[in-house]
Chains A and B, each alone.
Chain A
Amino acid sequence: MTEMAKTRVRSGEKELRVTRSRRNVAWSGVGAIVVIVVLFLFPYYIGAGTTGIMVQALIVLTLASMWNLLAGYAGLVSVGQQAFFGLGAYFVLIPAMHGLTPWAALPIAAIGAALCALPLWWLVSRLRTGYFAIATWVLAAAIMLVIEQIGSIGGGTGEPLPGLTGMDPAVLAAYTYWAALTVAVLAIGGVYFLLRSRVGLTLTAIRDDEQAARSSGVRVGLARLLVFVVAAAGCGAAGGVLAIQQLQVVPGTSGGVFSVQWTAEMAFAVIIGGIGTIEGPIIGTAVFIILQQTLESYNAWYLIILGLVAIVIAIFFRRGLWGTLDDKVNLRLLPTGYYLWPAGDTRPRFRRSKADVAQG
Chain B
Amino acid sequence: MAWVNAVIQGILTGGLYALFACGLSLLFGVMKVVNLAHGDLATVAGYVGVGVVAAFHLPFLWSVPVVVLAMAVLGYVLQRSVIQAALSRGELTTLIVTFGLSIVIENGLLQFFTSDSRGLAVGDSFTTASFSIGSQITIAWLDVYIFILAVVVLLALQYFLSGSKYGRLIRAVADDREAAQLSGANYRHVFGIAAAIAFGTVALAGMSYGLTTTIDPTTGTDTILLFAFAAVVIGGLGSLWGTLLGGIVLGVAQQIGAQINIGYEQLGGYVIFLLVLVVWPQGLTGRRAQS
A interface residues, Cβ below 8 angstroms from B: 71, 75, 77, 79, 123-124, 126-135, 137-139, 141-142, 145-146, 148-149, 253-254, 260-261, 264, 267-268, 271, 275, 299-301, 303-304, 306-308, 310-311, 314-315, 318
Contact = CB atoms under 8 A, between A and B. Distances in A.
Given A134-B36, A304-B103, 7 more contacts: A131-B34, A141-B270, A268-B100, A306-B103, A311-B101, A315-B89, A315-B93
B291 A133 contact: no
Contacts of A149: 263-264, 267
A275 B92 CA distance: 10
Nearest to A137: B226
A254 to B, nearest CB: 6
B65 interface: no
Q: Top 9 A-B pairs ranked by shortest CB distance?
A: A130-B34, A300-B107, A307-B104, A142-B270, A311-B100, A131-B291, A307-B103, A307-B100, A314-B96
Contacts, number: 137
B99 A123 contact: no
Interface string B80-94: 001001100101111
B79 interface: no
Interface residues of B, number: 46
A138 B270 contact: yes
B291 A127 contact: yes
B100 A310 contact: yes
A133 B274 CA distance: 15
Interface of B (DSSP majority class): helix
Nearest to A300: B107
Given A141-B270, A314-B97, A133 B36 contact: yes
B162 to A, nearest CB: 24
B21 to A, nearest CB: 12
A220 B154 CA distance: 39
Contact of B34 (A129, A261, A300, A314): A129
Given A137-B226, A304-B107, A123 B96 contact: no
Interface in B81-131: 82, 85-86, 89, 91-97, 99-101, 103-104, 107-108, 110-111, 115
Given A133-B34, A142-B267, A307-B103, A271 B96 contact: yes
Nearest to A254: B218
